Amino acid sequence: MAIDLISTIKGSLLEGFYPAGWDLAKLDACCSHPAGAIGERQTWWNPEFQPIECESVSDFDTMLGHEIALQIKLARDAGRKLILILPVGPMGMYRWAVYFLKEWHIACDHVHGFNMDEWSDADGTTLPADHPAAFRLAM
């Protein structure tokens, strides 16, 4: 028997922690696929998913910043709200997102952002925004 999260969660402090709708076995199966060679299309990918290779971290920052800004613009143009889950690392893309949004004169009052991996206590209280370890400070 393998020792992994799924086989050891029952009876642990994590039992009942994850949302009831999460199918951990399905998530595990999805994440267990090998990455494949760069540019090699995988059979399980959504037909609309198209990876774009970046030559450098700088290219990645610029291209991802553009994509974030574009999604914000498209949501604005369509008159809908947008919720983004934003990683705190890497962060170079945010200066580019801001750059494009300013160039395009796009307001962001329709955008709601959540910091990925920000931890809280059982009551949902996160670190104060000015705490050195707070993701809100980094963002």
Q: What local confidence, expressed as pLDDT, does residue 87 receive? A: 87
Q: Would you write out the chain's pLDDT as a tens digit for each of its 139 residues?
A: 678 888 898 899 888 888 888 899 888 887 777 766 666 777 878 899 888 888 999 999 999 999 999 999 999 999 999 999 998 878 899 999 999 999 999 999 999 998 887 777 778 888 888 888 888 788 7
Of 54, 27, 25, 24, the closest CA to residue 38 belongs to: 54
Q: What local confidence, expressed as pLDDT, does residue 78 receive? A: 98
Report the distance separating Cα 37 and Cα 75, nearest Å: 33
pTM: predicted TM-score of the whole model, two decimal places: 0.67
Q: What local confidence, expressed as pLDDT, does residue 125 receive? A: 84
Q: What local confidence, expressed as pLDDT, does residue 119 receive? A: 74
